[in-house]
């Protein structure tokens, strides 16, 4: 392999594939990036077996392709070296078997390479009928749900986002069993059989970091044990989580004894302040009650003091509620709404609290209350 | 005490005094901020006994002073509460003994207070003959030397910056015994007796964070066991480190067998790249040698690879050198020069390397080499 390429172009693509490498991996080959130089351009590939990323630099963006070939080199080192070179033309050349020379007029790096044949097959196939959607919309949907996934490995299925496809709808659901976030996307045309998969949240985070063109589209190629995402110059595979996702469809009630509308920003900042006098070990519990035309939020740490926050109700209400919940969970849930106002829906002090917004009714947030009264 | 004050003004001053509180302190009163409301304005005070900070808000910047008095309140809580209130008028009032009420139209916080009489005396006296210098110059001087102080408590004197005053000169010195940074400031008028003190680096960091008006002046009031800094609205006391600072005056040679001049930026980036193939456990050793009209920097990690960087010499040289040093120490040392070019001065491979710049000759950096050849 022998190539001359602008540092800036190579760096952009190394930034993509470096996300496929976990620095904690003990198997050296899984810390590597594969360069595959073909006539049509340069492919860069990385994988830690759970996620695999491929990107492509077209020959027209390369200064000179002098000798086709493949190399596999330690990802961390090639990434840092290219990053610290200025924006000039870099020569990369396999000088002897399994050793490359990276040079500019003033720098000369020799790096030992790994065996090309040991690099795993990335398994980047495409399906006949991908789901095609807008990158910006997908990113927003994931951001509105992913925080509700569990970080505890004791129930692996809850560490992913559940994607169901049925009736021309994509339904994204995340829950850690204390709260739930769910968003539905109605698709105009969707010619794909019913689907029910669990995508690891960790890998979805990497996908959305790479989605830079909000107006461009993204393809999801869904298989039994993996999803392959295709967007921009990138192909990204993530394994799925095995197991059955809990049936959450019956958790969201149809009717409520009390619905209150509040200004999102005022409600958020009030909770943020009320949470100052709570203990993190106790999940930052704050109490909420309706009183006249206000929500009253309160909390206390006995030895320090107490706080009471008032938030104006935008509609008159007849019923009243007294309920307690985790300030952190409530703030996570309401932060993802774009709207000016939100609705809080109650069915009593031990029933789930539902948060949504009339203008964005396809997004639902649920929080379990905490018994204190 | 009873006061009405704009959140923005109170926050600015809480930002100053919060730096006097160490979050690790186990003595509750040392985690507190004292409010002292007098006719002329509001004083805020904090101390952890090693450092003490006082700031003053003039009555003209206060909406209303309704009742003079003192309170002592948990610093972390009052700071976070005021920070999270919007920029509106805040009422703070001592409602019953040792309890304050902090209110805005929508928020109401009750905080328990500590006993005013337990708050330590801050010891903020002034000397008759302070050293007066420009804030920007002092900040620059500390930044150019402080990184060379030791972080190891085994030799406490090395964890501070040594300030010597003699012959109308201020001499700042920092060393961790592997490297040394020294800067002299010549003062036009300086009517103060010879001085030799060690100021804790940790506390100097807090001082320079608070120096926001580069063109304004700063007063140093020096006492046997403390320095009191006076600037802007702030008075800050730091204890001194007891002990004798090592005599470093003979460490800087007068003559050198080789002096080379290089472009600072090119030398810095070359070291930065060469350090990629070094081990942090081995202090990031890189080798330097002169060859024709270049400095050659090299390093290697046997299993990974090696690197060679070339940096052009700006003057012709007759002698040659082969020497090795810590890339990290060299980068720390040269980063603080403002100049385009720097001089590297050598007396052989086991003698200290001196770095300075003809245009900024009052700043000297020294690094001990590491024996490898």
Question: Measured at the alpha carbon of residue B125, what is the angle toward residues B120 and B127, in degrees to the nearest 5?
Answer: 160
Q: Cα angle at A369 between A368 and A371, to 5 degrees? A: 135
| Closest Cα in chain B, distance from residue A107 (Å) | 5
Minimum Cα–Cα distance from B265: chain A residue: A86
Q: b or e along B235-247 (b: 16 or more beta carbons within 10 Å of the residue's beta carbon)?
A: bbbbbbbeeebee
Query: Can you give the pLDDT at residue B24?
Result: 76
Q: Check pLDDT > 90 for residue A356.
A: yes
Give, for A344, the enclosing helix (H) or strand (E).
Answer: strand A341-346
DSSP secondary-structure letter at A278? Answer: S
Measured between alpha carbons, how far is residue B325 from residues A272, B271, B274, B275, B367 in Å? Answer: 50, 11, 12, 11, 8
pLDDT at res. B122: 85
Q: Give me the domains of chain A, ranges plus CATH numbers.
A: 2-118 (3.10.150.10), 131-239 (3.10.150.10), 258-367 (3.70.10.10)
Cβ–Cβ gap A110/B74 under 8 Å: no
pLDDT value of position A282 = 78
A293 and chain B in contact, CB less than 8 A: no
The token pair that represents B95 in the structure block: 């409602």
Contact by Cβ (8 Å): B121, B115: no
Query: Quick one: average pLDDT of A303-311?
Result: 96
User: Which is it for strands A234-239 and A51-58: parallel, antiparallel or unpaired?
Assistant: antiparallel
The pLDDT value recorded for residue A263 is: 97
Q: How close B44 comes to chain A (CA, Å)?
A: 20
A270 and B307 within 8 Å at the Cβ level: the answer is no
Token pair for residue B106? 């929508």
Portion of chain A with pLDDT greater than 70, in percent: 100
pLDDT score recorded for residue A8:
98
Instruction: Give B252's contacts (C-beta < 8 A, 6+ positions apart).
Output: B182, B354, B364, B366
Q: What is the pLDDT of residue B281?
A: 80
C-alpha A321/C-alpha A302 separation (Å) is: 24
Facing residues of A99 across strands?
A96, A112
Mind giving me the DSSP string for A64-111?
EEEE-EEEEEEHHHHHHHHHHS-SSEEEEEEEETTEEEEE-SSEEEEE
Q: Is A41 left (phi over 0), alpha (psi -120 to 50) or beta?
A: left
> What pLDDT score does A373 carry?
56
A15: three-class secondary structure by DSSP: helix
- Residues B109, A277: C-beta atoms closer than 8 Å: yes
B78 touches chain A (CB under 8 A): no
Chain B residues near residue A109 by CB distance under 8 angstroms: 273, 277, 305-307
pLDDT value at residue A281: 80
Q: What is the DSSP letter of B153?
A: T
Confidence (pLDDT) at A24: 75
With an 8 Å Cβ cutoff, is B302 touching chain A? no
Give the bridge partners for B6, in sequence order: B89
Q: What is the pLDDT of residues A90-117, one digit of tens each?
A: 999 999 888 999 999 999 999 999 999 9
Beta bridge partners of A53: A46, A236
Could you tell me where the DSSP H helices lie in chain A? 7-17, 75-84, 135-145, 201-210, 264-274, 327-335
B110 touches chain A (CB under 8 A): yes
Say whether pLDDT at A84 is over 80.
yes
pLDDT band at residue A317 using 50, 70 and 90 as cut-offs: confident
* Alpha-carbon torsion (A114, A118, A120, A125), positive or negative: positive
User: Looking at the partner chain, which of A85, A270, A273 has a beta carbon nearest the beta carbon of B81?
Assistant: A273
Write the residue in A81, A111, A304 that is nearest to B111 by C-beta. Answer: A304
Distance from CA of A123 to the nearest CA of B (A): 28
Asked if B109 reaches chain A (Cβ–Cβ under 8 Å), the answer is yes
Instruction: Please state the φ and ψ torsions of residue B206, each to the nearest 5 degrees.
Output: -65, -40
**pTM beyond 0.95, yes or no:** no
Mean pLDDT by 10 residues, chain B (373 residues): 98 97 84 97 95 98 98 97 96 94 98 95 91 97 98 96 95 97 92 93 97 96 97 97 94 94 97 94 91 96 96 92 97 96 96 92 96 74
Q: What is the DSSP annotation of B166-195? A: ETTEEEEEEE-SSEEEEEEEE-S------E
- Name the closest residue on chain B to residue A100, using Cα atoms: B305
Q: CA-CA distance, B231 to B222, in Å (whole number)?
A: 15
Chain B interface, best mutation among A273, A277, A284, A286, by max B CB count within 10 A: A273
Q: Are B272 and B331 a contacting pair, CB within 8 Å? A: yes
Phi, psi of A356 (to 5 degrees): -155, -170
Within 8 A by CB and 6+ apart from A319, the residues are A257, A258, A290
Residue B305: per-residue pLDDT: 96
Chain A hits for B311, Cβ within 8 Å: 106
Mean pLDDT, chain A, rounded, equals 95
**DSSP assigned state of B215:** T
Nearest CA-CA distance, residue A238 and chain B, Å = 29
Residue A291 buriedness (CB in 10 A; 0-12 / 13-18 / 19+): exposed
In angstroms, the CA A278 to CA A263 distance is: 23
Predicted confidence at residue A23, as pLDDT, reads 73
Q: Which two tokens stand for residue A62?
A: 């390369």
Judged by phi (left if over 0) then psi (alpha if -120 to 50, else beta), residue A323 lies in beta
Q: Would you tell me how many other CB atoms lie within 10 Å of the CB of residue B149?
A: 25
- What's the sign of the alpha-carbon dihedral A121, A123, A124, A126? positive
Q: Say what the ipTM of the complex is.
A: 0.91
Contacts of residue B110, Cβ cutoff 8 Å, sequence gap at least 6: A305, A306, A307, B95, B99, B100, B101, B102
User: Following CA atoms A230, A232, A234, A240 in sequence, which dihedral angle do they give, to the nearest 10 degrees?
Assistant: -30
pLDDT of residue B358: 81
Comparing CA positions, the residue from B22, B112, B104, B105 lying closest to residue B72 is B112
Q: Which residues of A touch B111 (CB under 8 A)?
A: 304-305
Give burial (CB, 10 Å; 0-12/13-18/19+) of A14. buried
Three-class DSSP category at A150: coil
For an interface test with B, give the residue of A304, A306, A312 to mutate (most B CBs within 10 A): A304
Q: What is the pLDDT of residue B373?
A: 56
């Amino acid at each position: 392999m022998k190539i001359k390429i602008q540092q800036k172009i190579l760096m952009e693509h190394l930034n993509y594939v470096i996300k496929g490498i976990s620095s904690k991996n003990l198997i050296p080959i899984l810390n590597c990036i594969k360069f595959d130089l073909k006539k049509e351009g340069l492919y860069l590939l990385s994988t830690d077996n759970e996620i695999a990323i491929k990107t492509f630099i077209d020959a027209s963006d390369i200064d000179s392709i002098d000798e086709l070939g493949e190399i596999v080199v330690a990802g961390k080192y090639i990434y840092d070296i290219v990053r610290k070179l200025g924006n000039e033309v870099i020569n990369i050349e396999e000088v002897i078997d399994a050793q490359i020379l990276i040079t500019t007029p003033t720098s000369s790096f020799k790096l030992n390479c790994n065996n090309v044949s040991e690099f795993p097959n990335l398994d980047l196939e495409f399906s006949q009928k991908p789901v095609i959607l807008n990158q910006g919309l997908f990113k927003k949907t994931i951001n509105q749900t992913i925080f509700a996934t569990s970080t505890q490995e004791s129930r692996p299925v809850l560490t992913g986002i559940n994607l169901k496809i049925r009736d021309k709808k994509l339904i994204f659901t995340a829950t850690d069993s204390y709260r739930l976030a769910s968003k539905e996307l109605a698709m105009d045309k969707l010619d794909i059989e019913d689907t029910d998969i669990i995508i690891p949240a960790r890998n979805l985070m990497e996908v959305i970091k790479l989605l830079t063109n909000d107006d461009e589209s993204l393809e999801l190629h869904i298989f039994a044990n993996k999803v392959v995402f295709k967007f921009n110059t990138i192909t990204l595979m993530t394994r799925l989580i095995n197991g059955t996702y809990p049936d959450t469809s019956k958790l969201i009630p149809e009717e409520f004894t009390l619905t209150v509308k509040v200004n999102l920003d005022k409600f958020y900042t009030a909770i943020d302040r009320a949470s100052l006098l709570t203990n993190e070990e106790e999940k930052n519990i704050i109490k909420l009650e309706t009183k006249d035309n206000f929500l009253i939020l309160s909390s206390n740490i006995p030895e320090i003091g107490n706080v009471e926050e008032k938030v104006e109700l935008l509609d008159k209400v007849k019923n009243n509620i007294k309920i307690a919940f985790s300030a952190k969970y409530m703030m996570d849930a309401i932060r993802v709404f774009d709207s000016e106002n939100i609705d809080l829906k109650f069915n009593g002090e031990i029933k789930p609290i539902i948060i949504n917004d009339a203008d964005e009714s396809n997004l639902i947030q649920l929080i379990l209350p905490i018994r204190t009264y």
